[in-house]
Amino acid sequence: MWMSAKTQRTFILTLMVFLLGTPAYAQELKLSDLVEEALKNSPEILASQAKIEAARYRVPQAKSLPDPMFMFGYQNEGFNRYTYGEEQGSQWMFSASQQFLFPGKRSLKGEMVQRDAESMEAMHELLKLKTVARVKELYFDLFLTYKNIDLLKDKRDLFLRIEELTLARYASGKAMQQEVLMAQTEKYMLLEKEEMFKQKMQSLEAMLRAVIGREVGPPLGRPNEPVYQPFSLNTDEAVKTALNKSPEIKSRNKIIEAADTKLLMAQKEYYPDFNINATYFNREGNFKDMWSATATINIPLYFKTKQEPAVMEAKASRAQAKQELEAVKLMISAAVKDNLSMQRSSEKLMDLYKNGLIPKNTQDVELALTGYANGRTDLIIVISRLKTLLEYEILYWNQRVEREKAIARLQAITEGLASVPGGEKK
């Protein structure tokens, strides 16, 4: 059956789409799905959960009594023969002993381990918040990569238009061959940048897979455009909220409580522990069985080199924990201020690009193209203005993504896991 050239091209294109299917990058990639998958499958989160579970099992171990001891043996009189039942001192012996710590020591040991476990639980919440923020940042960076490729393709069409215009002017003797080569070189430079962004896309996907705990598979898909999320808190309110909700501060407070308990435990070591022992002596013949009960107490005689330095060590550890808490508060405050500054700066730059530089440069490019077509403008000016327009558009989307990344970090610091959903346009 005869088909026109146009119909043949349409048929071939349709067949290729059918055979190859929709490209994987065209599939929708939802941020909420990635966050949910990360919280469920992240190797770091799973490892942290296992660490907390192990810490909880240490609590009853710390509170438990030391293992009791059982002893059995035989005592014989003389070396010539077995004298059991014949001599008074020949006997079988059975003994049981149990060590008891000074009252309060066991509960303090359990409390120390319990506070350590609670500190790990708070750090686990911090790890989840950081994981969510990391997923969001990688998601937004991946979106930006796709967007930059779109911008390059869009500008490549303009450079093709310039190339065609240059070829037409060269054919009519109105332009030099150098102008043709210049237009073609700029087109290939855009192709080079596009390939670099594609390589970056693969790197971001690999990092995102590592965070969410997904093994190698098909491309993740194309992220949705980020939703412009407001952040209404001022600096003082944001800092106060962050300090009140921070899991890291909660963890540091638990460490201080554990240090306080360790100090009490060190002071308790001045008091002795004791051991109760009961022994049964089995004898035969005319000799009666015997029994004995004894108590052994350790004497903290060397307290100057043992208990006293232990108390000083515990005090130093508590002072360290308190200073680390203050350092964490300062870091959280600085992080809030830094991200708020980044958010506000990005918003101002976005407004400058969107409502000032991009519209003005778009008009400038059209005027330059018209001027070059009429022979009133040099090609170098057209290319320069087109490259400037592309740069401003890329900068606008860079600032848009940087703003959303700053908001994601602020949400992790001030709102916790309640801020997980959202961050993308449906």
pLDDT one-digit tens code per residue, 33-79: 899 999 999 999 999 999 999 999 999 999 999 999 999 999 999 89
pLDDT tens across 292-350, in order? 999 999 999 988 899 999 999 999 999 999 999 999 999 999 999 999 999 999 999 99
Give the separation between CA 214 and CA 18, rounded to whole angstroms: 29
The average confidence (pLDDT) of the chain is: 85
| Pairing assessment for the beta strands 274-282 and 91-100 based on DSSP bridges | antiparallel
Domain boundaries, the chain: 24-65+102-269+306-419, 66-100+272-303
Phi, psi of 282 (to 5 degrees): -100, 125
Q: Give, rounded to a whole angstrom, the gap between the first and last alpha carbons of the chain.
A: 46
Bridge partners of 291?
Answer: 280
**What's at 28, amino acid-wise?**
E
pLDDT tens across 100-157, in order? 999 999 999 999 999 999 999 999 999 999 999 999 999 999 999 999 999 988 888 7
Q: Which stretches within 172-275 are classed as H helix?
A: 177-212, 235-245, 247-268
Q: What is the enclosing helix (H) or strand (E) of 99?
A: strand 91-100
Phi, psi of 217 (to 5 degrees): -165, -160
407 contacts 357 by C-beta, under 8 angstroms: no
Q: What CATH number has the domain spanning 24-65+102-269+306-419?
A: 1.20.1600.10
Q: What is the enclosing helix (H) or strand (E) of 92?
A: strand 91-100
Number of residues that make up the chain:
426
Q: What is the enclosing helix (H) or strand (E) of 280?
A: strand 274-282
Q: What residue ranges in 182-235 does DSSP mark as E strands?
A: 222-223
